[in-house]
Amino acid sequence: MQNTTEIKVLGTGTSKHQMVTSVLKEYINKAGIEITVNDCNDIDSFLNYGIELVPAVIYKDQIFNIGSNGSFNVALRKVVTAILKNSNFGHLEKIVIPIDFSNVSSNAFAYGHRLATDLGAVTKAVHVFSPSANEVVEGTTENIDFIKLHEVYLEDFVATFDHDWGSDLMRVSLIDSEYRTGFPGEQILDSIDENAADLTVIGSTGKTGFFQKWFGSVSTKIMNESPSPVLIVPEGANYHGVHRIAYAYDNINQDKKVISELASFADRFGAEIHLIHVENGGVPDPGYYLSELLCKEYPSALIITSSIKTDDISKGITDYCITKSIDIISLSTHKKGFLELLYDDSISQKVSAMTKLPLLVLK
């Protein structure tokens, strides 16, 4: 039986053989996993293992043939993912993205996957199957295995994203699929907890009734109970990097509690942080104090404090974000009333541009 802390890369020293060894060592090192990667050039060993085509990888008595069918890069990604998954990807950051195969969640996944690539994180595609009454009845009468069907949907979904990246496959974020059954909210929170997720990305429609239809169900539960930040990606949002983050503040005692998290997130991209205060009732602007706190953890040159005088909170923030080309607006979980104002039906109809701006909800 092979040593479980050893990976053997079988080959004849070709460029592909060297690439497999190099990529495996790179990912094992990044993940901080105690596994040794060794080359094996002995042809007799190939025959003993029953291997006819190299390069190949052996780990925990499992043989992975690379390049025998289809794309070499796709096969290599699958090997790296399978090996790292045994240790839940070690110290690599993980971004959990719930998938229900709708256009909304697919767009959120595309956004989150590109974000994960910039962060050097692993993308966790999580699908929760919660059978409807019709599916239960149909499954009984027609012998349809809906659970297996949804598992295949998830596998196909992940494979599509891998193939879409072409020659950049080894540069972009690894994707791990996770299939669960049960109540979506609870299962997604369990996944976030078990994976020690650094970020959760969920999609939203941004349509009329947004707050009631979306925040009022699974997403509200995730937003309120997730131990990690939650990024809400509207249906029309496209990822173009994170260069400017706006944080809307109003309660200094609450807002100062999320400063570290805000600074940590922005620091990963070297992004500007725009502190926005809306004056809509004579409330004093605590921006100076908040900026001083933030400066202790973030470069002052990248902190911009702005005060907006308007009776329309949503429009004021929207106009500012458009003018300053903000990429993400960030809020803390205590601002539920503010979120309701931001996505009130009448307001969202007037400021449709806001529906394309992702929201980062900090704890």
In 3D space, the residue among 194, 250, 192, 196 whose CA is nearest the CA of residue 224 turns out to be: 192
Q: Report the amino acid identity of residue 16.
A: K
In 3D space, the residue among 303, 131, 343 whose CA is nearest the CA of residue 223 turns out to be: 343
Burial of 25 per CB tally in 10 Å (0-12, 13-18, 19+): middle
Mean pLDDT by 10 residues, the chain (363 residues): 77 91 94 93 85 88 77 86 93 94 90 94 92 51 67 87 64 91 91 95 62 55 87 88 90 82 94 86 68 92 88 80 92 60 43 65 83
> Is there a shared CATH topology between the 6-85 domain and the 94-234 domain?
no
pLDDT at 335: 52
Phi, psi of 128 (to 5 degrees): -110, 120
Strand locations in 141-212 (E): 175-181, 199-204
pLDDT at 308: 84
CATH numeric code, 94-234: 3.40.50.620
The tally of CA atoms less than 13 A away on the side-chain side of residue 348 is 19
128 membership: H or E segment, kind and range? strand 122-129
**Residue range 171-224, pLDDT digits in tens:** 889 999 999 988 888 999 999 999 999 999 998 754 444 444 444 467 778 888
Range 226-254 burial, b when 16+ CB lie within 10 A, else e: bebbbbbbbbebebeebebbbbbbbeeee
Q: Are 3 and 61 in contact (CB under 8 A)?
A: no
22 membership: H or E segment, kind and range? helix 15-31
pLDDT at 23: 92
What value, to the nearest 5°, has the Cα angle with vertex 140 and ends 134 and 145? Answer: 85
pTM: 0.85
Evaluate whether the domain defined by 244-362 bears CATH number 3.40.630.10: no
Query: Largest alpha-carbon pair distance within the chain?
Result: 82
Strand 175-181 and strand 328-332: pairing?
unpaired
Domain positions in the chain are 6-85, 94-234, 244-362
Architecture of domain 6-85: 3-Layer(aba) Sandwich (3.40)
**For residue 59, what is the DSSP state?**
E
pLDDT at 230: 92
Encoding tokens for residue 324?
Answer: 């300053």
Q: Report the amino acid identity of residue 295.
A: C
